[in-house]
Amino acid sequence: MSLSRAIIYPVARRFFAGVNLGPALERIKEDNTFGIGATVDFLGEDVADTSEAEMAKAEYRRAIEAIEFEALDASVAIKLTHIGLDISSILAENNALEIAAVAKERGVFLWVDMESSEHTDSIIKIYRKMLSKGVPAGLALQASLKRTWDDIKALTADGARIRLVKGAYNEPPEIAVQDMGGIRARFIDMARYLLDSGASFAIGTHDLLIIDRVREMASGADRVEYQMLMGLRDSTKKKLVREGLRVVEYVPYGADWYGYGIRRLTEKKRNALYFVQGLMGR
């Protein structure tokens, strides 16, 4: 292990379950005892080799099968660049549909993560294909992207289940809102739209201002799922569960833990604050 990895590991270890699936399953079991669900995230993205995409597909399948076998309260999140989107949209679609077929057969919900803006159209297209196959699946949409209002209305009309997030990627001002106040306002307005539409949806955020506002708007409605990363806002997760709300922890695992930790710390200044708060158990 290099010096930089050795330094970051003790901090990063709080925020991912382990290198292999086993520790992730143990974390999920622990979460479930507290009434917290989980979404498994096999770390990795932007693969440029077909063999890597095949390996990732096999690991996603393994995670789905383990969740069903262990009867866990958990779903699986996939990244389409992890299964070949940068190589070929056809390859990614075929791999996604194969994973989706396993998820449908095993009764495990599947989340499709959103990635940087150059992939948005391809990801939505493949997600729609999954919906057409009757797969129980949801899609992350980023409130910061200016196009998201159109996407959220069209997808909700088609019966999509949305996970609303702020957006972690650095996008240019032509296509994305840059100021946090504007992003937060859009997020809350989109959550209100989803509530008014009658849809079941998730919010993925550690922003207490957003969480509290959505709780107020939802007035205890059980159609909202509150998702947060492993190691962050742990006390908030348990508090929301005590209030009878649905809480899900995002549980990452895999050999790409270093890249994951560094990205979380550097892509947005606010994330660094959340990590520090996580270390303090807030």
- What residues contact residue 52 under an 8 Å CB cut-off, 6+ apart? 44
Catalytic residue among 41, 113, 207, 234: 113
113 a catalytic residue = yes
Widest distance between CA atoms in the chain = 51
Q: How far apart are CA 169 and CA 123, in angstroms?
A: 15
> Which tokens in the block code for residue 178?
């840059």
Catalytic: 163? yes
Contacts of 88 (CB under 8 A, 6+ apart): none
Q: What is the rounded distance in angstroms from the CA atom of residue 166 to the CA atom of residue 24? A: 25
- Of 27, 163, 186, 233, which residue is the catalytic one? 163
Residue positions annotated with a catalytic role: 113, 163
